[in-house]
């Protein structure tokens, strides 16, 4: 079967690789890892070197390209690109309640899921590199959580790399998740205030909806009850370009009048569901806090910080309403249909203390691989102070700090951003 095709001048090929679930126990089973190789016509003809893209998340497949545009257009001038569906995502042995229901117990589910962090994603990439190009090196690009993977790669397998690029994804190398969320809540509060300044009626709309949900039983099209805390999750959109506008337009059409009473509209409910992907990408909720864990448990850090130090996010009628961000909470595994079957496994993972170290601080201090990183001053998801703290611990890294973009800058202006980073280390 021919696995090659062309999408608007973008030459594509489907690749599949078999990797161990557990690299310490090759008898524990295997996974299929899917990679889409894309290139310009010139890239194919000239056999340009490879660049591997690590998607943000965790728990999201690599983007599905529509042609030779955006950051891919810029990168294709220098590379053939490998769009990696990280283990558990997309076409790479996808993880969901549906695919996990055959496990005998929640503990078995948790044990399986513990193998899906950045360390094993990078091990997969290294196995693929050796299978695909032997001892040749390649370059890597990581967006958001993909940047966590880049730092892991630099820590554990720098011998496989020519260069590394990071956009919006320089995490702290040592801080626990609690520190991350203490900083995150402050940034989310600031984004809320910016939103309400931009749209003066938005606070009124948001409190009307929240108060309505406190006194009325509203059900979403998928049968789930819509609660105040569920509604607050829409704040994840405040951290991306265009998110403020999308959220406001949703709020302003929330209600319809039925028999002289106010109900939430079907349009509102459908669009709300489309703006949240915890049901379609449950992997994100299950493993989100574990991406920070190194020899310590997460213990539902975001929830603990919210109740102890960020109480303004616990809405009380008469107070200002604040949307939350990308935080994950234990109640989500009681309310989201595709998270409910994974509640016990998620609890086990939140209590897991023996997560291995992700980063080699000495290796990063001695790093020889050229690295270029874009840091967004206004990033709601990744704290700039922690990013700069990390930069100081990595040798041979050059940074570009910009206040022009939100966290999703690479989607908005990818061609410019990639070219900027490439020139930082390729004069």
Q: What is the DSSP string of 363-397?
A: HHHT--S-EEEEEETT-SSS-HHHHHHHHTT-TTE
Cα→Cα distances 285→145, 346, 347, Å? 14, 9, 11
pTM over 0.85, yes/no = yes
Do the Cβ atoms of 57 and 144 come closer than 8 Å? Answer: yes
| Model pLDDT, residue 1 | 47
- Tokens representing 107? 């503990």
Catalytic residue (choose from 92, 144, 172, 290) = 144
Burial of residue 313, with CB atoms counted within 10 A of its CB: 0-12 exposed, 13-18 middle, 19 or more buried: buried
Catalytic residue (choose from 102, 259, 354, 403) = 354
- Tokens representing 336? 């989201």
CATH class of 4-106+115-174+359-425: alpha beta
290 is catalytic: no
354 is catalytic: yes
Interatomic CA distance for residues 384 and 119, integer angstroms: 24
Give the pairing of strands 161-167 and 138-143.
parallel
| Model pLDDT, residue 279 | 87
Interatomic CA distance for residues 152 and 146, integer angstroms: 10
172 is catalytic: no
Nearest Cα residue to 80 out of 34, 120, 132: 132
3-state secondary structure labels for all residues of 255-278: EEEECCEEEECHHHHHHHHHCCCC
Do the Cβ atoms of 36 and 5 come closer than 8 Å? Answer: no
pLDDT digits (tens, 9 = 90+) for 30-51: 999 999 999 999 999 999 999 9
| Model pLDDT, residue 3 | 85
Q: Enumerate the β-bridge partners of residue 30.
A: 20
- Tokens representing 170? 């320089």
| Model pLDDT, residue 2 | 65
Give me the average pLDDT of each 10-residue run along the chain (427 residues). 86 97 95 98 96 96 96 98 98 94 96 97 98 97 98 98 97 94 95 98 98 96 95 97 97 93 94 92 93 96 96 95 96 95 97 97 98 96 95 98 95 96 95
Instruction: List the chain domain ranges.
Output: 4-106+115-174+359-425, 177-351
CA 256 to chain centroid, in Å, comes to 35
Query: CA triplet 56, 61, 65: central angle to 5 degrees?
Result: 100
């Amino acid at each position: 079967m021919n696995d090659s095709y062309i999408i608007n001048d973008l030459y594509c090929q489907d690749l599949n690789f078999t990797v161990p679930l557990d690299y310490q126990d090759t008898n524990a089973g295997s996974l299929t890892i899917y990679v889409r190789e894309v290139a310009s016509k010139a890239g194919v003809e000239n056999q340009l070197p490879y660049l591997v893209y690590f998607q943000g998340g965790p728990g999201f497949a690599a983007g599905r390209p529509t042609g030779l545009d955006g950051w891919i257009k810029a990168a294709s001038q220098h590379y053939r690109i490998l769009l990696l569906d990280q283990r558990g995502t997309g076409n790479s042995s996808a993880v969901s309640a549906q695919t996990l229901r055959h496990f005998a117990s929640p503990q078995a589910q948790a044990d399986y899921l513990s193998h899906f962090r950045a360390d094993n994603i990078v091990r997969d990439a290294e196995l693929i590199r050796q299978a695909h190009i032997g001892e040749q090196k390649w370059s890597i690009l990581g967006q958001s959580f993909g940047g966590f993977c880049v730092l892991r790669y630099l820590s554990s397998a720098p011998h496989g790399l020519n260069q590394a690029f990071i956009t919006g994804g320089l995490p702290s190398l040592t801080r626990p998740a609690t520190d991350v969320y203490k900083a995150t809540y402050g940034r989310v509060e600031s984004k809320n205030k910016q939103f309400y300044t931009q749209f003066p009626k938005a606070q009124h709309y948001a409190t009307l909806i929240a108060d309505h949900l406190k006194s009325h039983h509203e059900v979403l099209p998928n049968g789930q009850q819509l609660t105040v805390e569920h509604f607050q999750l829409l704040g994840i959109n405040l951290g991306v370009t265009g998110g403020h506008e999308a959220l406001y337009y949703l709020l302003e059409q929330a209600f319809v009048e039925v028999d002289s009473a106010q109900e939430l509209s079907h349009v509102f409910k459908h669009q709300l569901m489309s703006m949240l992907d915890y049901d379609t990408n449950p992997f994100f909720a299950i493993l989100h806090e574990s991406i920070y864990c190194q020899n310590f448990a997460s213990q539902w850090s975001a929830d603990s910080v919210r109740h102890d130090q960020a109480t303004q996010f616990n809405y009380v009628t008469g107070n200002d309403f604040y949307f939350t961000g990308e935080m994950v909470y234990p109640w989500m595994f009681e309310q989201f249909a595709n998270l409910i079957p994974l509640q016990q496994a998620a609890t086990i993972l939140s209590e897991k203390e023996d997560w291995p170290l992700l980063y080699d601080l000495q290796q990063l201090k001695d790093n020889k691989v050229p690295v270029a990183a874009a840091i967004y001053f206004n990033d709601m998801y990744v704290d700039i102070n922690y990013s700069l703290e990390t930069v100081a611990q990595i040798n041979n890294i050059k940074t570009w700090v910009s206040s022009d973009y939100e966290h999703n800058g690479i989607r908005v202006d990818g061609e410019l951003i990639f070219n900027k980073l490439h020139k930082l280390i390729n004069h």
